[in-house]
Amino acid sequence: MSAAGIVWSVITLLAWGGAAIFDKLALNSMKGLSSLAAVIIRMMFAVLGVLVIALCMGVVDEVRTIKPITVLYLALSGVFGAVIGQGAYYYVAKSGQVSKVVAFTAGYPLVTVVLAIAFLHEPLTWRKIAATAMIVAGLMILAASREAPEKPMPAATPEPGVPPCAGG
């Protein structure tokens, strides 16, 4: 992995990990309300935040220059991550077996690795295989060791294994 890739990935890791704490505190104050409402409020501020970043960088006008094929990929990312993935996750979370389910869904990076090798022809190295196996196993153990929720309800925000960006 290049130095730039590591730096941006570490920033991502810290931002996603820190945000989950705010999510948990927010959910505690939203008892009885839909978790989808929390996701919508969070995304409203996210769009505002990205708008501020884009304004500071002076690139807002560049949105109009994005090619249709890029728009399609970004829209599909939203459809898979924010709608289908999140919708199916709500369905399984309603079963009340959140800990068990999250342990399975924590394996999503494996899907990404397989798809990247199959469609983007990215190289498969022993280092990637070892790292993927260790991280996915660790995430599954972390997810399985979570305490059971007080009552069965959908989790609005990232549990271990849910990509915050892809998950909306």
Show contacts with another protein in window 75-134 (CB under 8 A).
75-85, 87-89, 91-92, 95, 97, 100-101, 104-117, 119-120, 122-124, 127-128, 130-134
CB-based contacts of 154: which residues, under 8 Å, 6+ apart?
35, 89, 90, 93, 94
The single residue among 149, 150, 152, 167 that binds another protein, judged by CB under 8 A, is: 167
Check residue 154 for interaction with another protein (CB under 8 A).
Answer: no
Output the CA–CA distances (angstroms, integers) from residue 124 to 48, 111, 118, 131, 139, in the order listed: 38, 13, 10, 12, 21
DSSP symbol at 145: T
Measured at the CA of 140, the angle between CA 77 and CA 91, to 5 degrees, comes to 50
* Shortest reach from residue 112's CB to another protein, in Å: 4
Nearer to another protein, 124 or 151 (CB): 124
The single residue among 15, 99, 150, 155 that binds another protein, judged by CB under 8 A, is: 15
Nearer to another protein, 56 or 151 (CB): 56
Check residue 148 for interaction with another protein (CB under 8 A).
Answer: no
HSE-CB at 64 with a 13 A cutoff on CA atoms is 2
Check residue 152 for interaction with another protein (CB under 8 A).
Answer: no
- Please check whether residue 38 is in contact with residue 27, taking contact to mean a CB–CB distance below 8 angstroms: yes
Rounded Cα distance, 89 and 162, in Å: 9
* Shortest reach from residue 168's CB to another protein, in Å: 5
Of residues 21-60, those binding another protein (CB under 8 A):
21-27, 29-30, 33-34, 36-54, 57, 59-60
